[in-house]
Amino acid sequence: MLGAIVKRLGQMLFVMVGISVLVFLIFFATPGADPASRIAGRNASPETLAAVRKDFGFDRPLPVQYALMMERLFITQDLTSFVNRGWKVVPAVIDVAPVTLSLVVGGAVLWVIGGVIIGLVAAATRGSVLDRTLMMLGLIGVSMPVYWLGEVMNLITQSRFHDSWFFAWVPPLGYKPLTSDPVGWFLTLVIPWITLATLYMGLYGRVLRANLVEAGQEDYIRTARAKGLSETRILVRHALRTSLITIVTLFGLDFGALVGGAALLTEVVFGLQGIGKLTYDALRSLDLPVIMATVMYASFFVVVANAAVDLVYVVLDPRIRTA
């Protein structure tokens, strides 16, 4: 057991190192991509370029640059931005994390509840008009670009129907901290939550329905039926439990990626200064220290979410427990 945990931790570490090397190479070793020229400006003289190179340490070998950056990011934690000199990246990431966390956690609650309800109702009424309607709506949700849906939401709630009683409560775009203004926090996030959840709700509902229908053909469901259990009980207590394994896998990966910054399109459209927006701005200005910090942060969540998924498997599936 201990061996398995050590192996797993080793894998996680390997993936994180791999990602940091990959990002480093994308921004430093891509032919033609010269960070010094970006920092020095478009028409910098060769002397300025050389000075910038020396100043930022770009004249040193790549492995040394990589090691120094990792040391300053994780050990001394005093890595500063290339663009705004003196701006420490570790506190910058910690500052914006609550925004993304608020957005993603709220959205996740909505999409898991919605997705499970859609999946259960559709599977229970399999073949009916309700089933087909739900699946079609789910597919439309999956087919919508999230940023476009966000814009449509803004158009409706901020402009066209903002004066009607239905959307008059929607505050202007932006983020209000939970601690100082809990009501404002909730109200500003309702529309972003719905937007973010729409895609995943459709996806989870469809996947769950497919799994429930598939589980319906298994021997243990036949046994449950033979025992005389009610259809509802079979669906919820027997079929749902094994079907949840797929949902948990999906959820782990999606949640990890979103907390890590994959929600950036939603953040951009709704003017939320979260991790995704920070990463995107850093990428635009090729601010490598910030990119490095945000990407390491993102990969940390993805890797941890993967490990958590493996743990939940053991709880949900007795077969894995004994193996």
Partner 1 sequence: MTDQTASAVDLVAEEASSPLPAARGPWVTALRKLRSDRAAMAALLLFVVIVGLCMLAPLYATYVAKTDPFRSNLTGKIMVDGKRVPVMESSTEGLGLGFTPMGPTWDFRAYFLGADGQGRDVAARLLYGGRNSLWIAGVSTVICLGMAALVGLVAGFFGGAIDWVLSRLLDVLWAFPVYLLAISLSIVLISHGIDIGPISINSGSLSLPIFIIGIIYVPYVARPIRGQVLALKESEFVLAAIGLGVPSHRILFRDILPNVMATLIVFVPLMMAINMLTESALSFLSIGVQPPDASWGTIIQDGQEQLYTRPMVALAPGIAIVITVLALNILGDGVRDALDPRSKLRIRSA
Q: Is 265 in the site for partner 1 (CB under 8 A)?
A: yes
| Residue burial 234-268, b: 16+ Cβ < 10 Å; e: rest | bbeebbbebbbbebbbbbbebbbbbbbbbbbbbbb
The residue among 38 and 72 lying less far from partner 1, judged by its C-beta, is 38
Told to check if 14 binds partner 1 by CB under 8 A, we report yes
Round the CA-based radius of gyration of the chain to a whole number and report it.
24
At residue 103, what is the residue type? L
Determine, following the binding rule CB under 8 A, whether residue 87 of this chain makes contact with partner 1: no
Nearer of residues 74 and 181 to partner 1, judged by Cβ: 74
Does 26 bind partner 1 (CB under 8 A)? Our answer is yes
- Write the interaction track for partner 1 spanning residues 101-140; mark x where CB under 8 A is met and - where it is not: --------------------------------------xx
Q: 129 vs 183, which CB is nearer to partner 1?
A: 129
- Phi-psi domain of 272 (left: phi exceeds 0; alpha: psi -120 through 50; beta: other): beta
Closer residue to partner 1 (CB): 8 or 183: 8
Phi/psi at 88 (5° precision): -80, 135
Q: How far apart are the first and last CA of the chain?
A: 11
- Total residues binding partner 1 (CB under 8 A): 50
Contacts with partner 1, 218-257, as mask; x by CB under 8 A? ---------------------------------------x
Minimum distance, C-beta of residue 51 to partner 1, in the bound complex (Å): 22
Compute the distance between CA of residue 271 and CA of residue 273 in angstroms, rounded to an integer.
6
Query: DSSP string covering 23-85, please?
Result: HHHHHHTSTT--HHHHHH-TT--HHHHHHHHHHHTTTS-HHHHHHHHHIIIIIS---B-SSST
Chain contacts with partner 1 (rule: CB under 8 A): 11, 14-16, 18-19, 22-23, 26-27, 30-33, 139-140, 142-148, 151-152, 154-155, 158-160, 217, 257, 260-262, 264-265, 268, 279-280, 283-284, 286, 291, 295, 298-299, 302-303, 306
